[in-house]
Amino acid sequence: MKILSVVGARPNFMKIAPLLRAFQGYPNFVSKLVHTGQHYDATMNQVFFEQLELPKPDYYLGVDAASHTQQTATIMLAFEDVVAIENPDLVLVVGDVNSSLAAALVAAKRGISVAHVEAGLRSGDRRMPEEINRIVIDSVSELLFVSEKSGLENLQRAGIPADKIFFVGNCMIDSLLFYQERSAQLPVLASLDISPKKYVLMTMHRPSNVDSHEGLKTILRMLERLTAEVSVVFPLHPRTRARFSEMGLNIPLENIPQLYLLEPQGYLEFQHLMTRAAAVLTDSGGVQEETTYLKVPCLTFRETTERPITVEIGSNELISNLNPDLVREKVLAILAGEGKRGSIPELWDGKAAERIAAVINDKFSASP
């Protein structure tokens, strides 16, 4: 049985790594990896392949950044050539990036089964390109692997047959657990001369937060208020760094005291920082899940989340706008011991990939 697994962006890498390990336990699987090149920056790409011990891709499509439409169309054209050569039994996609959408559409149009890992997640906000991607990928998938209970409810409401849906847990947590000990051994905090739980970790990259002058000025005010109380460690996403520079705000950013501006961190380094932070401020999707497992209070700068379990029972709290005074108030409460700790969601136990591989084997072994 031949499986083509498709990755393109950093969030994909952490989810695909445990799956490729799990596939090795099935000698009847022929597993090949396709990298679209959607994340082309070395800090967003190569270091993750190395740290997550991912194999060299069997195919690298080298798709450059462009508009969502151009990127998706270019990936579709390139991936169609790969499918024609390989004739796979299954195309596996993870998450909600353009690479996953493009690969799923190509496979579905050629009559090839699609497996979607992280199926059923919904924010309810169709202004987010990722929301459109999630809906479309789920609609063309034969195997839908769900990471949290809300995914089951969303897929059932969409009329997807129950025999296509499998509640398996979270592959992101598989990687978190697999590399936890290795990450703990890194000297990241020592090199910064910061003590555990004495700093706030921050990430910011979504266009709604960083693509306007007003948004960046608000981030600056927020950082000024926070650093008057606590150190802030801020690995700068390439997009965010570019926006600060383009809008002439990089110097004010660099001059904020108690602010540690870092280059984008590798997977192990970021996990080290996240595990030891007093709190995490983010607009990322996956970070909401990781902090929930780690029980680190997390403030997410978004109006909605496609991962509601992180708010309902986890350590995550949504902040609908970048209000510097509100954020300072929330962080001070966390530092005083009043932050959310929450509990770990069902099946977030490090074995999601094993369950997925078993389902795929059962389904295809049973096929005539």
Side by side, the strands of the sheet bearing 143-146 are: 59-60, 30-35, 2-7, 90-94, 113-119, 143-146, 165-167
Chain position carrying tokens 């989340």: 305
The tokens of 295 are what?
């029980």
DSSP string over 232-297: EEEEPPHHHHHHHHHTT-HHHHHT-TTEEEEPPPPHHHHHHHHHH-SEEEE--SHHHHHHHHHT--
What residues have CB less than 8 Å from 122, skipping those under 6 apart?
131, 134, 135, 150, 154, 306
Taking the C-alpha atoms of 108, 112, 117 and 121 in order, what is their torsion angle to the nearest 10 degrees?
Answer: 20
Determine the longest span between alpha carbons in the chain, in angstroms: 66
Query: 341 to each of 43, 180, 298, 306, 312, how far by Cα in Å?
Result: 31, 19, 9, 20, 11
Q: Which residues are designated catalytic? A: 205
How crowded is residue 122: how many other Cβ atoms within 10 Å of its Cβ? 22
What residues have CB less than 8 Å from 123, skipping those under 6 apart?
130, 131, 302, 304, 305, 306
What is the bridge-based pairing of β-strands 298-300 and 30-35? unpaired
The tokens of 297 are what?
């209070």
Q: How far is CA 140 from the centre of its chain?
A: 22
How crowded is residue 49: how many other Cβ atoms within 10 Å of its Cβ? 18
Give the helix/strand (H/E) hosting 143: strand 143-146
The tokens of 8 are what?
């393109």
The tokens of 308 are what?
């509601």
- Can you name the residues that pair with 165 across neighbouring β-strands? 144
